[in-house]
Amino acid sequence: MTAARTPSIDIDIYSDELTLRPYEAYRQIRDAGPAVYLAPHDTWVIARYENVREVLKDTDTFSSAAGVSLTAPVNEITKGTTLASDPPEHDTLRAIVASSLTPRALATRKPGIAQQAEQLVAGLVERGEFDAVTELAQVLPLSVVPDFVGLPQEGRDQLLDWASAVFNAIGPPNERSQRSLPALAELGEYAGRLANSGALAEGSLGAGVLAAAADGRIPATQCPALLLDYLGPALDTTISAVGSAIYLFARHPEQWDKVRQDPKLIPNAFNEVVRLETPIRGFCRQTTRPTVVGGVEIGAGERVLVLYASANRDERKWQDPEKFDVTRRAGDHVGFGYGVHGCAGQGLARIEAHAVLEALAKRVSAFEVLGTDRVLNNVIRAFSSIRVRVTTSNGV
């Protein structure tokens, strides 16, 4: 007998309104129970911090292998990625994808990225006014990631459109995800062409994937999927976090003052940004057997949406969760996920974001927001534009 789907809630968290302003809805879902059936999307949702960690840890019960999207055709397209796999296969794929993303492997990249951030920020600050998304947050990932993955020139100018399509597609089968399917298919074809032509720079992440196939660790047919592991999540996420950081520091000048006075706070401040404005709102799992979450029974074969963005504001875990506080112990947020699927690229994202914030802290004493636009995406929470005027530290 299937367990009753209760408690249940009738909120479309993917409506335009709640996509832009989701936090009150997340609170209602947290208050409704440790696991709640989200009727409009025919999925369970886990919104409390403790239960999010519990579910992410139990990969035997909460499987990623059926895909992490709420849209069935998207789960077909992403089959074979590290993201959409379970142990033990996951561990083999993860070792390949993450081998060049370890702190040790990234250490050699750090000085170059810091230098790029310094140059970029110096030029913008000299101008006094700029767009903190299109002229700053997007620029570093777009220059670092494609080289790191070893991409040829072909396709680079489409990466942002494709990444946005990936995150729309991971949502429910609404208009936004349907509209993104052709772009997702294009990205799949691009990954296929890269894998077949071998046109990936020597020593790059992408070349590492092809090498794994050449020495028999994975079948060659799996290379496009592993390239998708890089092409999907590596850009929009970091762009979102850096944009949100600048917006939050503009709105909370006393927090920026703390960071300027003590730049050693930057790593924690970045965690606090990812906690408060979590770039990826949530991904799915599927139950492999009947289970119980916090006393709520969930049947086998059910979709379960894990809301990282809600867990990061759960009042059961965080004091004053809505407050932006760069001195809070923010390190155990789940904005990069948790457990075996915890973000493989977070080291790179941190290097990029820290470099931008360090370069800004040296030069900018205050930000004034002149105007903003938000992205309307099923999964990514981000600004498409933040126009700012900066006051420089020497008073200009």
Q: How far is the CB of 81 from ligand HEM (least distance, A)?
A: 8
- Window 220-239: residues binding ligand HEM (CB under 6 A): 229-230, 233-234, 237-238
Q: Does 344 bind ligand HEM (CB under 6 A)?
A: yes
- Determine contact, residues 39/57, Cβ cutoff 8 Å: no
Among 274, 296, 351, 382, contact with ligand HEM (rule: CB under 6 A): 274
Three-state SS across 139-152? HHHHHHHHHHHCCC
Please tell me the count of residues contacting ligand HEM according to CB under 6 A: 30
Single out the segment in contact with ligand HEM by CB under 6 A; choices: 93-101, 126-134, 167-175, 176-184.
93-101
Q: Does 336 bind ligand HEM (CB under 6 A)?
A: yes
Q: Does 82 bind ligand HEM (CB under 6 A)?
A: yes
Q: Does 348 bind ligand HEM (CB under 6 A)?
A: yes
Q: How far is the CB of 249 from ligand HEM (least distance, A)?
A: 16
Cα separations (Å) of 356 from 110, 133, 213, 266, 349?
Answer: 12, 12, 36, 10, 11
Q: How far is the CB of 167 from ligand HEM (least distance, A)?
A: 11
Measured between alpha carbons, how far is 340 from 343 in angstroms, rounded to an integer?
Answer: 9
Q: How far is the CB of 189 from ligand HEM (least distance, A)?
A: 20
Cα separations (Å) of 255 from 114, 139, 333?
Answer: 23, 25, 19
Q: How far is the CB of 33 from ligand HEM (least distance, A)?
A: 21
Burial class (CB in 10 A: 0-12, 13-18, 19+), 362: middle
Q: What token pair was written down for 153?
A: 């020139």
Measured between alpha carbons, how far is 78 from 296 in angstroms, rounded to an integer?
Answer: 30
Q: How far is the CB of 311 from ligand HEM (least distance, A)?
A: 11
Q: For the chain, give the longest Cα–Cα distance.
A: 71
Closest CA to 115 of 356, 348, 347, 350: 356
* Residues forming the site for ligand HEM (CB under 6 A): 56, 64, 68, 82-83, 94, 97, 101, 229-230, 233-234, 237-238, 241, 274, 279-280, 283, 308, 335-337, 341, 343-346, 348-349
